[in-house]
Amino acid sequence: MLYNGEIILAAHRGDRKCCPENTLPAFASAINFGADMIETDIHMTRDGQLIILHDRNTMRTTGYDGWSNEMTYEEIRKLDAGAWFSEEFAGTRIPSVEEFIAQIKDTDLRVNWELKDYPREVGDDFAFAAADRLISMIDKHGLRERSILNSFSDRVLEHIVRHHGHDIPIHGQGIHNCCRSIDTASIPREELYDWCCLYPEEKGKSPLDYRENFDYCLSHGILPCVCIADKYESYQKALEMGCKMFTTNDMRECNRILKQLSVR
Protein backbone atom coordinates (compact mmCIF):
# COMPACT_ATOMS: atom_id res chain seq x y z
CA MET A 1 0.00 0.00 0.00
CA LEU A 2 1.37 3.41 -0.98
CA TYR A 3 0.01 5.32 2.01
CA ASN A 4 -1.43 4.01 5.27
CA GLY A 5 -1.31 7.14 7.40
CA GLU A 6 2.37 7.18 8.27
CA ILE A 7 4.80 10.01 7.57
CA ILE A 8 6.82 9.12 4.48
CA LEU A 9 10.57 9.69 4.19
CA ALA A 10 11.36 10.06 0.48
CA ALA A 11 15.00 10.09 -0.63
CA HIS A 12 15.29 12.87 -3.22
CA ARG A 13 17.02 11.36 -6.28
CA GLY A 14 18.24 8.59 -3.99
CA ASP A 15 20.98 9.16 -1.43
CA ARG A 16 22.30 12.22 -3.20
CA LYS A 17 24.30 13.39 -0.20
CA CYS A 18 26.64 10.40 -0.36
CA CYS A 19 26.34 9.32 -4.01
CA PRO A 20 25.80 10.92 -7.41
CA GLU A 21 22.09 11.68 -7.76
CA ASN A 22 19.76 9.40 -9.72
CA THR A 23 22.28 6.57 -10.07
CA LEU A 24 22.15 2.94 -9.02
CA PRO A 25 24.61 3.55 -6.14
CA ALA A 26 22.38 6.37 -4.83
CA PHE A 27 19.33 4.13 -4.98
CA ALA A 28 21.14 1.19 -3.38
CA SER A 29 22.22 3.40 -0.50
CA ALA A 30 18.65 4.64 0.04
CA ILE A 31 17.32 1.09 -0.03
CA ASN A 32 19.94 -0.16 2.40
CA PHE A 33 19.25 2.73 4.76
CA GLY A 34 15.55 1.99 4.84
CA ALA A 35 13.99 4.99 3.08
CA ASP A 36 10.24 4.62 2.57
CA MET A 37 10.32 6.03 -0.93
CA ILE A 38 12.66 7.19 -3.66
CA GLU A 39 11.78 10.29 -5.67
CA THR A 40 13.33 10.05 -9.11
CA ASP A 41 13.16 11.67 -12.55
CA ILE A 42 12.24 10.14 -15.88
CA HIS A 43 13.19 11.13 -19.43
CA MET A 44 12.86 9.27 -22.72
CA THR A 45 15.64 9.00 -25.28
CA ARG A 46 15.23 9.61 -28.99
CA ASP A 47 14.85 5.87 -29.58
CA GLY A 48 12.19 5.46 -26.90
CA GLN A 49 14.16 4.17 -23.91
CA LEU A 50 13.29 5.46 -20.46
CA ILE A 51 16.21 6.71 -18.40
CA ILE A 52 16.65 8.24 -14.96
CA LEU A 53 18.00 11.77 -15.19
CA HIS A 54 16.92 15.05 -13.63
CA ASP A 55 17.91 17.62 -16.25
CA ARG A 56 16.95 17.10 -19.88
CA ASN A 57 20.36 18.57 -20.65
CA THR A 58 23.13 16.19 -19.59
CA MET A 59 25.83 18.80 -18.94
CA ARG A 60 25.45 19.26 -15.18
CA THR A 61 25.87 15.62 -14.19
CA THR A 62 28.01 14.25 -17.05
CA GLY A 63 30.01 17.16 -18.47
CA TYR A 64 28.55 16.50 -21.94
CA ASP A 65 26.27 19.13 -23.45
CA GLY A 66 23.43 17.09 -24.91
CA TRP A 67 19.65 16.78 -24.74
CA SER A 68 18.26 13.46 -23.62
CA ASN A 69 15.37 13.48 -26.12
CA GLU A 70 17.81 14.06 -28.99
CA MET A 71 20.21 11.27 -27.96
CA THR A 72 19.93 7.52 -28.35
CA TYR A 73 20.12 5.20 -25.38
CA GLU A 74 23.51 3.97 -26.60
CA GLU A 75 24.80 7.55 -26.65
CA ILE A 76 23.43 8.20 -23.17
CA ARG A 77 25.13 5.08 -21.83
CA LYS A 78 28.54 6.33 -22.89
CA LEU A 79 28.30 9.29 -20.49
CA ASP A 80 29.91 9.30 -17.05
CA ALA A 81 27.33 10.31 -14.45
CA GLY A 82 29.55 9.81 -11.42
CA ALA A 83 32.90 11.53 -11.92
CA TRP A 84 31.45 14.99 -11.22
CA PHE A 85 30.58 13.81 -7.71
CA SER A 86 33.87 12.12 -6.79
CA GLU A 87 36.56 9.86 -8.25
CA GLU A 88 35.04 6.98 -6.30
CA PHE A 89 32.03 7.02 -8.62
CA ALA A 90 33.84 7.62 -11.92
CA GLY A 91 32.32 5.47 -14.64
CA THR A 92 28.86 5.36 -13.09
CA ARG A 93 26.26 5.37 -15.85
CA ILE A 94 22.87 7.02 -16.26
CA PRO A 95 20.54 4.13 -15.39
CA SER A 96 17.58 2.91 -17.37
CA VAL A 97 14.20 2.60 -15.71
CA GLU A 98 14.45 -1.15 -16.28
CA GLU A 99 17.67 -1.26 -14.23
CA PHE A 100 16.06 0.75 -11.45
CA ILE A 101 13.02 -1.51 -11.37
CA ALA A 102 15.25 -4.58 -11.19
CA GLN A 103 16.96 -2.96 -8.20
CA ILE A 104 13.75 -2.22 -6.26
CA LYS A 105 11.23 -4.83 -7.37
CA ASP A 106 11.97 -7.29 -4.57
CA THR A 107 11.81 -4.62 -1.88
CA ASP A 108 8.79 -2.83 -0.42
CA LEU A 109 10.18 0.55 -1.49
CA ARG A 110 7.71 3.05 -2.91
CA VAL A 111 8.54 5.30 -5.86
CA ASN A 112 7.62 8.87 -6.73
CA TRP A 113 8.17 8.92 -10.51
CA GLU A 114 8.58 12.47 -11.79
CA LEU A 115 7.98 12.76 -15.52
CA LYS A 116 10.38 15.43 -16.80
CA ASP A 117 9.58 15.48 -20.53
CA TYR A 118 7.24 18.44 -20.92
CA PRO A 119 4.90 19.08 -23.88
CA ARG A 120 6.12 22.66 -24.30
CA GLU A 121 9.72 21.42 -24.67
CA VAL A 122 9.45 18.12 -26.55
CA GLY A 123 5.91 18.21 -27.95
CA ASP A 124 2.72 16.46 -26.89
CA ASP A 125 3.39 13.17 -28.65
CA PHE A 126 6.81 12.67 -27.12
CA ALA A 127 5.81 13.75 -23.60
CA PHE A 128 2.68 11.61 -23.57
CA ALA A 129 4.54 8.62 -25.05
CA ALA A 130 7.09 8.84 -22.22
CA ALA A 131 4.25 8.76 -19.67
CA ASP A 132 2.54 5.84 -21.46
CA ARG A 133 5.76 3.86 -21.58
CA LEU A 134 6.45 4.41 -17.89
CA ILE A 135 2.97 3.26 -16.88
CA SER A 136 3.33 0.20 -19.10
CA MET A 137 6.53 -0.69 -17.25
CA ILE A 138 4.93 -0.02 -13.86
CA ASP A 139 2.10 -2.38 -14.78
CA LYS A 140 4.45 -5.00 -16.24
CA HIS A 141 6.24 -5.25 -12.91
CA GLY A 142 3.17 -4.89 -10.68
CA LEU A 143 4.23 -1.58 -9.15
CA ARG A 144 0.97 0.41 -9.27
CA GLU A 145 0.32 0.12 -5.55
CA ARG A 146 3.84 1.38 -4.79
CA SER A 147 3.87 4.33 -7.20
CA ILE A 148 3.08 8.03 -7.38
CA LEU A 149 3.10 9.82 -10.75
CA ASN A 150 4.47 13.33 -10.57
CA SER A 151 5.10 16.19 -12.98
CA PHE A 152 5.34 19.95 -13.27
CA SER A 153 3.11 19.52 -16.34
CA ASP A 154 -0.58 19.29 -15.48
CA ARG A 155 -1.22 18.34 -19.10
CA VAL A 156 0.92 15.22 -18.68
CA LEU A 157 -0.90 14.37 -15.44
CA GLU A 158 -4.26 14.88 -17.13
CA HIS A 159 -3.20 12.62 -20.00
CA ILE A 160 -2.37 9.90 -17.47
CA VAL A 161 -5.74 10.16 -15.73
CA ARG A 162 -7.74 10.20 -18.97
CA HIS A 163 -5.86 7.32 -20.61
CA HIS A 164 -4.75 5.15 -17.69
CA GLY A 165 -7.24 5.85 -14.92
CA HIS A 166 -6.76 7.52 -11.55
CA ASP A 167 -5.81 4.55 -9.38
CA ILE A 168 -2.14 5.56 -9.33
CA PRO A 169 -1.89 8.64 -7.08
CA ILE A 170 -1.17 11.89 -8.93
CA HIS A 171 1.35 14.33 -7.44
CA GLY A 172 1.16 18.01 -8.36
CA GLN A 173 3.60 20.86 -7.87
CA GLY A 174 2.03 23.69 -5.90
CA ILE A 175 -1.59 24.69 -5.46
CA HIS A 176 -3.89 27.49 -4.29
CA ASN A 177 -1.77 30.66 -4.00
CA CYS A 178 1.40 29.10 -5.37
CA CYS A 179 0.92 26.85 -8.40
CA ARG A 180 4.14 25.67 -10.03
CA SER A 181 2.67 23.79 -12.99
CA ILE A 182 4.16 24.95 -16.29
CA ASP A 183 0.88 24.39 -18.14
CA THR A 184 -2.79 23.81 -17.44
CA ALA A 185 -5.28 20.95 -17.61
CA SER A 186 -9.03 20.93 -18.12
CA ILE A 187 -9.44 18.85 -14.95
CA PRO A 188 -9.29 21.18 -11.91
CA ARG A 189 -6.20 20.65 -9.78
CA GLU A 190 -8.43 19.90 -6.80
CA GLU A 191 -9.73 16.84 -8.71
CA LEU A 192 -6.47 15.96 -10.45
CA TYR A 193 -4.05 15.90 -7.51
CA ASP A 194 -3.88 13.30 -4.76
CA TRP A 195 -0.56 14.66 -3.41
CA CYS A 196 0.95 18.10 -3.72
CA CYS A 197 4.40 19.51 -2.97
CA LEU A 198 3.98 22.93 -1.38
CA TYR A 199 6.19 25.90 -2.20
CA PRO A 200 6.66 29.42 -0.84
CA GLU A 201 4.67 32.15 -2.55
CA GLU A 202 7.42 34.76 -2.26
CA LYS A 203 11.15 34.65 -2.78
CA GLY A 204 13.02 34.17 0.47
CA LYS A 205 10.02 32.63 2.21
CA SER A 206 9.31 29.02 3.21
CA PRO A 207 6.25 26.92 2.40
CA LEU A 208 5.80 26.80 6.16
CA ASP A 209 4.96 30.51 6.13
CA TYR A 210 1.66 29.71 4.42
CA ARG A 211 -0.58 27.55 6.57
CA GLU A 212 -3.45 28.34 4.21
CA ASN A 213 -1.88 26.20 1.50
CA PHE A 214 -1.72 23.19 3.82
CA ASP A 215 -5.30 23.84 4.91
CA TYR A 216 -6.39 24.16 1.29
CA CYS A 217 -4.87 20.79 0.39
CA LEU A 218 -6.34 19.00 3.38
CA SER A 219 -9.80 20.50 2.84
CA HIS A 220 -9.75 19.15 -0.73
CA GLY A 221 -8.49 15.69 0.17
CA ILE A 222 -4.97 16.33 -1.11
CA LEU A 223 -2.01 15.09 0.92
CA PRO A 224 0.59 17.87 1.38
CA CYS A 225 4.33 17.26 1.25
CA VAL A 226 7.42 19.46 1.36
CA CYS A 227 11.09 19.53 0.44
CA ILE A 228 12.64 21.83 3.05
CA ALA A 229 15.82 22.20 5.10
CA ASP A 230 16.19 19.25 7.45
CA LYS A 231 15.72 21.12 10.74
CA TYR A 232 13.80 20.00 13.83
CA GLU A 233 11.72 23.18 14.16
CA SER A 234 10.76 23.15 10.48
CA TYR A 235 9.72 19.51 10.54
CA GLN A 236 7.75 20.05 13.74
CA LYS A 237 5.87 22.95 12.19
CA ALA A 238 5.24 21.05 8.95
CA LEU A 239 3.79 18.12 10.86
CA GLU A 240 1.56 20.43 12.88
CA MET A 241 0.20 21.85 9.61
CA GLY A 242 -0.52 18.40 8.20
CA CYS A 243 2.54 17.44 6.14
CA LYS A 244 2.46 13.76 5.19
CA MET A 245 5.76 13.34 3.35
CA PHE A 246 9.25 14.83 3.52
CA THR A 247 11.32 14.65 0.35
CA THR A 248 14.85 15.01 1.64
CA ASN A 249 18.37 15.53 0.34
CA ASP A 250 19.76 14.11 3.60
CA MET A 251 17.80 11.02 4.52
CA ARG A 252 19.86 10.29 7.63
CA GLU A 253 19.18 13.69 9.13
CA CYS A 254 15.53 13.51 8.10
CA ASN A 255 15.22 10.13 9.78
CA ARG A 256 16.93 11.40 12.94
CA ILE A 257 14.54 14.35 13.22
CA LEU A 258 11.44 12.26 12.54
CA LYS A 259 12.54 9.84 15.26
CA GLN A 260 12.96 12.77 17.65
CA LEU A 261 9.44 13.81 16.77
CA SER A 262 8.23 10.24 17.42
CA VAL A 263 6.80 9.70 13.93
CA ARG A 264 9.24 6.92 12.93
pLDDT of residue 3: 86
- Is it the case that residue 197 has pLDDT exceeding 80? yes
What is the average pLDDT value for the chain, to the nearest integer?
A: 97
171 is annotated as an active-site residue: no
Task: With cut-offs at 50, 70 and 90, classify the pLDDT of residue 2.
Answer: confident
CA atoms lying within 13 Å on the CB side of residue 27: 27
Percent of the chain exceeding pLDDT 70 equals: 100
- Determine which one of 12, 159, 171, 176 is catalytic: 12
**Parallel, antiparallel, or unpaired for β 178-179 and 170-175?**
antiparallel
- Is it the case that residue 101 has pLDDT exceeding 80? yes
Q: What is the pLDDT of residues 232-247, one digit of tens each?
A: 999 999 999 999 999 9
CB distance 225 to 194 below 8 Å:
no
- Mean pLDDT, residues 162-166: 98
Task: With cut-offs at 50, 70 and 90, classify the pLDDT of residue 66.
Answer: very high
Query: Which one is the CATH code of 8-19+28-56+95-260: 3.40.50.970, 3.30.1490.20, 3.40.50.410, 3.20.20.190?
Result: 3.20.20.190
- Is it the case that residue 1 has pLDDT exceeding 90? no
- Determine which one of 43, 54, 159, 176 is catalytic: 54
DSSP secondary structure code for residue 202 in this structure: S
Q: Where are the domains of the chain?
A: 8-19+28-56+95-260
H or E segment and range at residue 142: none
The residues near 98 (Cβ < 8 Å, ≥ 6 apart) are 50, 137
- Mean pLDDT, residues 183-188: 98
CB distance 153 to 68 below 8 Å:
no
Tell me how far apart the alpha carbons of residues 70 and 50 are, in angstroms, rounded to a whole number.
Answer: 13
